[in-house]
Amino acid sequence: MATTYASADTDAHDGKPKFWVRWFFSTNHKDIGTLYLILGLIGGLVGGFLSIMMRLELSEPGLQFFGNPHTYNMFITMHGLLMIFFMVMPIIIGGLGNWFVPLMIGAPDMAFPRMNNLSFWLLAVALVCGVISMFLPGGAGGAGFGGSWVMYPPLSTSGHPGPAFDFLIIGILAAGFSSIFGAINFITTIFNMRAPGMTMHKMPLYAWSVLVTSWLLLLSLPVLAAAMIMLFTDRTVGTGFFDPAMGGDPLMFQHLFWFFGHPEVYVMILPAFGIISHVIATFSRKPVFGYLGMAYAMVAIGVVGFVVWAHHMYTVGMDVDVKAYFLAATFVIAVPTGVKVFSWLATMWGGSIRYSIPMQWALATIFLFVIGGVTGVFLASAGLDTAAHDTYFVVAHFHYVLSMGAVFAIFSGFTYWFGKMSGYLYNKWLAGLQFWLFFIGVNLAFMPQHFLGWQGMPRRIPDYFQEYQLLNQISSYGSYMSAIGVIVFIVWVIEAFIVKRKAGDNYWGEGADTLEWTLSSPPPYHQYSKLPQIK
């Protein structure tokens, strides 16, 4: 159903909604998706700046920029929270999800358009609260930020007075409610608003990934919200949920946090899997291999993702039998992930592959995610994890999964659908330059961190022994190269809107039809008046 506006809210010349009405009160899924993409870019730029400052500090031993180590810890905390809640999630779910899930399933819009608008503005308020917290008393010099993005008490309770951390908790709660509302919206839309003939087993894989992700959010975020509210009351009104002196248990916070925190990893990576499935199928000129297996592998990842949370907590003193359970459950989750990697390779096997920019990003995603997955299996072993815990090996692992897996998939999807969203073509040379700057830069940044971690360098510490200097310098140079890649990305987006090369109906090239999602799922019978023929 098209959105209607009062006459006072429309332009007298063309009847379109005025700027303020369109962008601040929008109930159009494409406009809200665009707003999410812009917010994600802002969050990513701020979070990326913090990471560059951290790498500048770590380029040499000693303290260069952060006279107070707590300021460095605040940068680490905000970098993690901004990148997860305000960059990856807004873009890969809010932005691309809002844009393409209704289009893929033949729905006129999201099920609850006004709640869609509310979800976005809650997230914008959350971002403002997070950024403000950096400048309040107890922010830049506050010890509580030493708990990093995981916010463990007692560092985040009695160890951190001042309003800064309270603002941060409020921001996380707002972001959580934003995601819960968005998840309800996606689930309702996908279950109730599919076009005739678009059965669940014909639904495109990106829509499947958003559906599974929405269930993960709906089931895990209330647990995080409960933990945040208890943390807030411990700090402000004197409750003792996590204070042993009052009968509380700080380990309970870790259980509550990671019950959310591990599904959160799949919240970020499952939509990436959906995007990769589309890109691989389109540029291999083949339907995706094992469509149903791919869909239910995502469901399996979502289910098992809820029962492996304590592999983040091997060092807290848990019983050896409990460790054995979480070790085995974590190994199991590698199976459906392996099914997906196998299916992507099988899709490309015998296909007519075209190495376009989106395809390059997709292939790099698979390669880097597999590296991160292998080190993840390594860390699932309780004995090995105890040795590597809180070292840079862990940092390297999760950045290969997320900083490369999820973020590379975002760039793959953005370049893939850029013509659909903007109507313009990007400069292939500039986009290719950005890809190679990123690919080389992130590997230079994070591959050495495996070796630093295995040599014992602890994370969240701004100083280190002289022996770690060379690998740290290589890592820092890689982060600078990645930052140049971000600049090139912004340049090619602006250039595309300035030059305005029109994207045709078939801008992926001969053989890739306009309705590309028929390549990644069996086409529905009645969704379109004429289905494209896959050549």
Which among 31, 264, 385, 516 is annotated as catalytic? 264
Q: Which residues pair with 10 in a beta bridge?
A: 17
70 is catalytic: no
285 is catalytic: no
CA-atom Rg of the chain in angstroms: 23
209 is catalytic: no
Which among 337, 391, 476, 520 is annotated as catalytic? 337
- Rounded-to-integer distance, Cα 133 and Cα 166, Å: 8
Task: Let me know: does 281 contact 520? Beta carbons within 8 Å.
Answer: yes
Which among 29, 79, 285, 397 is annotated as catalytic? 79
Which among 18, 354, 459, 460 is annotated as catalytic? 459
51 is catalytic: no
337 is catalytic: yes
Which among 51, 71, 119, 178 is annotated as catalytic? 178
Which among 29, 278, 286, 311 is annotated as catalytic? 311
79 is catalytic: yes
- Rounded-to-integer distance, Cα 127 and Cα 90, Å: 11
Which among 72, 149, 344, 417 is annotated as catalytic? 149
Which among 277, 284, 356, 475 is annotated as catalytic? 277
312 is catalytic: yes
Which 3 state secondary structure label does DSSP give 267? helix
243 is catalytic: no
- Rounded-to-integer distance, Cα 89 and Cα 127, Å: 13
- Rounded-to-integer distance, Cα 376 and Cα 393, Å: 10
356 is catalytic: no
E strand segments, 82-163: none
DSSP symbol at 513: -
What is the end-to-end Cα distance of the chain in Å, rounded? 34
Tokens for 220?
């895990």
Which among 206, 258, 266, 517 is annotated as catalytic? 266
Task: Let me know: does 142 contact 208? Beta carbons within 8 Å.
Answer: no
Nearest to 29 by CA among 89, 100, 87: 100
- Rounded-to-integer distance, Cα 351 and Cα 347, Å: 7
459 is catalytic: yes
- Rounded-to-integer distance, Cα 443 and Cα 437, Å: 10
Q: Which residues contact 138 (CB under 8 A, 6 or more apart)?
A: 144, 160, 161, 162, 163, 164, 165
Which among 26, 34, 148, 179 is annotated as catalytic? 179
Q: How many helices (H) and strands (E) does the chain have?
A: 17, 0
Which among 31, 109, 166, 234 is annotated as catalytic? 109
Which among 55, 194, 235, 312 is annotated as catalytic? 312
Residues belonging to the active site: 79, 109, 149, 178-179, 262, 264, 266, 277, 311-312, 337, 340, 459
